[in-house]
Each structure stands twice: as C-alpha cells, then as structure tokens.
Amino acid sequence: MRKFDVIVIGGGHAGTEAAAAAAKMGCSTALITLNASRIGFMSCNPAMGGLAKGQLIKEIDALGGIMGRLTDRTAIQYRRLNSSKGPAVRSSRAQCDKPLYAQTMQSYLSTHPNLTILETEVADILSDGKKIEGVLCRDGSEIHATSVIVTAGTFMRAVMHTGFEQTEGGRAGDQAAVGLSQSISKLGFQLGRLKTGTPPRLHKDSINYSEVEPQPGDEKPVPFSFYELPNPFPYLPQVNCYITYTNEQTHEIIEENFDRSPMFTGVIQGVGPRYCPSIEDKVKRFRDKNRHQIFLEPEGLNVDEIYVNGVSTSLPKDVQERFIRSIPGLSKAEFIRFGYAVEYDAIDPRMLKATLESKDVDGLFFAGQVNGTSGYEEAGAQGLIAGINAARKSKQLPEFTLGREDAYIGVMIDDLILKGVDEPYRMFTSRAEYRLLLREDNADARLGGKGFALGLLSENDHRFLQTKLEAIEMGKKSLEEFFVYPTAETQKWFSNRGLPEPKDRLTGTSLLKRPEISWSELSELGFSSNVVPSSVHEELEIQLKYEGYIKRDIELLEGVKKSDGLRIPSSMQFSDVPGLSTEIRQRLDHARPETIGQASRLPGVTPAAVANLLIYLKMSEKSHERTVRAP
C-alpha cells in the first residue's frame, strides 16, 4: 500500500493545476491518469483564453499556477479581444500548438519535485463515509491519502455520439472512467448528465485559402504570464487563423437531417452548453440567420489538422461531409476526424464548499468539468483552488478561498456552489459585479501576494511583482510632478486637436485622465515616457482614467463586505431561526451556505430572511459570550 498527502484523479487542465499546486506547496502528490501520454491534452479547440477566460488564466498565473506560462511557451497566435472597449471587458486569447502544449506540460510535471505520476484506473474512492482514506485501483492496489481531488473531466460513464453511432470514451482515442461514477454516487453525491461537442478536423492542404478571410494576430502581443517571459517573445512563429461562413445551402442540408441527429431524436439525454451550441442547434434556434461565422484554427505549426470552430456537431459522418463542403473555402475539404458529442456524468456542485471540498466527506475535493463547467480555463482555475486547499488540509492549515470581490475565480466558484448548474457553466465578464476591479492587467497586483504567502510564487516572482508595483507608484509621482503651462505653443497643440486650450498649468496626471490623451500625446507635450517603464503604461493609464469609477466600486465593495463575510456555523440549524418561511428554510438546508453573503445570493432567499439570519447570529454570539463569562 502506498501513501501520499494528496491524490489527484485525472490529468486534464484541472488535474495538472491541482497536482502542480499541491506538490509545489510541499505535499507528496500522486497524479493518477488513465493515459500519461494524454496529460495536459487540449481535448477540444487549440486556444487558451477568450472573453472572461483570459482573466481566469491571468488569475491562475498571478497566484502561481502554470497555465499562463505554458501558453506563452506554445502560443502560435495572440489576440486581445475587446481591445477597443473598456478595460473591464478586455480579454486575451492565444492559439496554441496543441501537441506541444501537452508535451510541455508532461515535461514540466515529470520533473516536478514531490509529484509522482501513476498510470492506472481508479475503481473506487475509499472512505469511512465521513472522511477520505484514499483510492482503490482497478488492479486491486490501494493508495491512501489525506485528500483526494477528483478531476475526471468528461470521462465518467462517458459516451461519444456521431449520428446514431455510440462509442464508450471521454474523447476520441481515450477510454471512459466507468467505476468512478458509482463510487461517487455511493458517497451520496447527486449526479447529472451533461453534454459537450466538438467539430470536425480538416486537412490544412484541402482548404481553398483564396475563399476565406485571413485573421492575423496582434502586432504587439501581450503575454499571459506576469512573471516569466520567454526569450524571444513571442517564443514561436506566429500564424493566421481564417474566417468563413455557413450559408443557406449549409442550413438546408442540416435541417433535412434533423431526424438523424442524436440531439433531436432523444438519443442524447445530457444538457449541452447554451452559449456554445452545436451547428444543428444554431440552425434550429436561429432560423432568421442566413449564415453563422466559422473560424479555421491551425492546431499546430507542424500539424495537418485545422479545427473548424463554430460547427460543433454530432450529425452522421455523411451529413458532416455534405454540409462542410457547402461552406466557402471548404468545397474539397478532407476530414481527418469527424465531429462528435460526448455525454458524461457531473456532480451537483452545490454539495461543495468554497474550497471545492465536499460538505459531507472530509478531504474529498472536486474540480473541473466534473463540477459542471466547460472550458480549459474554468477547469484550471478550479484545479488550482482545490490543489491549494488539499495541500493546506494535509498541513492542517486554514482554508483558502476567493470571494466574488477578489477574482473571477471567486465569482465562478460562488456561482457553482450556490446556484448549481443546469447546463455546462461558462465564465462571462457579465457574471462579475466588480469587473472593473477584476481586470486582466491588475491580476498580479490583486493576487500575487496571496500566491507568495501560499508558497506558489517564488522569491524571484514576488520580487518582480514588487518592482512592478513600485514602478506604478513612481509613475504616478512623475506624472504629478510634470507640468504643462498655457504657452502659445501648448495652446496651439490643443487647438489643432480640437481640445479646449488650457488656462492654467496642468499636471501629467490630470492630462492622462482625459480620454483623448494617451502616453504618446504626453510625449508630444514634453513628458519623458522613459521615466515610466512601458510594462506599466496600460495599468497606470487605466487607474487614472477610470479613477472615479474604481473608487465608487471600492466604496460599494467595502459596504458589502461588512456583512457578506460573516460566517455561518456549519452546525447551525436553520429551523431554529425565527421568521423564516418553510421554503427558505429548505433552500438554506439544501445549500448550507458558509457565509451571510452566500445565503443572500441563494435564489428565493429574501432580504428579510437575510436580516433574520443576521439578528439570530448576533443574538447567538451574545448568548455564547454570556455563557463563557458566567462563573
């Protein structure tokens, strides 16, 4: 029998972050996977980041995770989305070399101190019903641990669908995890059935590039990692993606074959992601649209496969061939792999704490798609939090959590554990109430100190962060000490740009606050931009231009924090709280919120009910104090 501090089941994006974090924090860690050669594999599209997902990767990196660093090592195109919009919604995205990303991850983990990779299948989770003991492997061997993290992705009782063809497996070429669902169910977890899909992969030489629109990356790409910049940067040659569109003929072919779709004939019972629907779902739901955008994404520099983003499908192979070849640029498309849907088991995440530990089984954690989420980034973020808390549990240290006010990671976990999922959960900027505070550019300032305190960031990384923060403060001082006077030359400069001519002297700070003034304009007015490192230009400019909005959000946040963080004892009986309706008591009993803030965000829990909870907690606290003081 072998023993570890932490066992991680699954080598996907949640599992790799969890295992790396636990090992880095000094815990003996076992990463158990069905196939070691598939660790870190990008099962779906070859991209990292995107709207709100870019923020998640930045936060993972800021805390000391690995996804951002490996993305920078394997990116073949960088693009910042919403770059012309406000800073709250700007998000980075990168196309990666898919095989290289997995190889880089495997190489990183294989030499990681405190980490052992075991290639086997977990048949059962061992516990006494209340506390985790370890796992039982398919070969009969037992591995014991203080904490077990389940990151099974889409593999639990997984079935792949292409038309009416069904194959057992969590993705093409990989087997399903059959016994794990039963083991988790025996521990009292409610399992639901979800679905995700993938599009066809086409041979790059079969595409007519004269009929599609090139989509190049950014001329000045921004790395994902705050701390580690590859040399040179970008590290790999950069390539184009391409855009094309479906048309009415495409839609007619798909409509004619609705009766052959496992989605529309009841074969697939699992619920798919509403915000990333299959092409057959798009055609059915949006009949008013005569075309849908498609992105042709290379899967690597030395890879023949093109990922056809936008046409996820589970239609039969012959139908896929017909509708794909009706699309401009794809009339002679050669299929390397057909699209398919995967149906799999996921737990109800409302049975978890904000640490992603089970509320009922001590030491059992869940992270990633097994919690009902979709996407590499959502999985990686959960894996990091689960890994941190599993490690801290083994060291008997306090739990680590992030709130909605701290990070997009906190928003996601709060949504999952309070609201649950009725479809695969995807992160959006609109889910974050304080998104102006939770920007990409300041993720390191928000979370780097926490990562260093946890033992995830090195001394060098933390020193690099401190240098950046000092540069921002020095930049503010330099701007405040720079003056523009109302000379004839200055007034002409303003007048030529249609700006009000200054009547009094202006500081660099007041100038940069103006929407029409940027660093280049300040340089024209005589400010030496060399005084402020270019690496902090963006963040400093955002802080000044949005100062009023940021201050307002901080004041609002401080007011919310006063009661939101108040802890609710796990032993509390909600039936003892006067003034609560039976329905609200039932909702609270089911969700078992850990704080007043969590209780207030539960569907159906009224402000009056929250007030009753607050009064009851304060009265209970005073009663306890009197009891303690009594002789």
Tokens found for residue 356: 């992603």
Is domain 469-554 in CATH 1.10.10.1800, yes or no? yes
CA–CA distance, 118 with 108 (Å, rounded to integer): 15
CATH 1.10.10.1800 in the chain: give the residue spans.
469-554
Q: Which residue has the higher pLDDT, 273 or 318?
A: 318
Please, what sign has the CA dihedral across residues 161, 167, 172, 177? positive
Tokens found for residue 417: 């554990």
- 3-state secondary structure at position 373: strand
pLDDT at 533: 86
Minimum mean pLDDT range among 60-74, 144-158, 328-342? 144-158
Burial class (CB in 10 A: 0-12, 13-18, 19+), 133: middle
CATH 3.50.50.60 in the chain: give the residue spans.
2-154+347-417+430-453
Place of tokens 């660099």: 508
Rounded to a whole number of angstroms, the CA Rg of the chain reads 26
Tokens found for residue 394: 């083994």
Is domain 201-339 in CATH 3.40.50.150, yes or no? no
pTM above 0.95, yes or no: no
Q: Read off φ and ψ for residue 483, nearest 5 degrees.
A: -125, 140
pLDDT tens, position by position, 132-181: 999 999 889 999 999 999 998 888 888 888 888 888 777 776 777 777 88
Evaluate whether 403 touches 594 at the Cβ level (below 8 Å).
Answer: no
Domain 565-629 CATH superfamily? GidA associated domain, C-terminal subdomain (1.10.150.570)
CA–CA distance, 149 with 180 (Å, rounded to integer): 12
CA–CA distance, 152 with 144 (Å, rounded to integer): 19
CA–CA distance, 7 with 627 (Å, rounded to integer): 43
473 half-sphere exposure, CB direction, 13 A CA radius: 7
CATH 1.10.150.570 in the chain: give the residue spans.
565-629
Task: Please say if the pLDDT value at position 631 is more than 70.
Answer: no
Mean pLDDT of the chain: 91
CATH 2.40.30.260 in the chain: give the residue spans.
201-339
CATH ID of 2-154+347-417+430-453, from 1.10.8.60, 1.20.1250.20, 3.40.50.10190, 3.50.50.60: 3.50.50.60
Give kind and range of the element (H or E) at residue 625.
helix 607-629
Task: Please say if the pLDDT value at position 404 is more than 80.
Answer: yes
Task: Please say if the pLDDT value at position 299 is more than 90.
Answer: yes
pLDDT at 30: 98
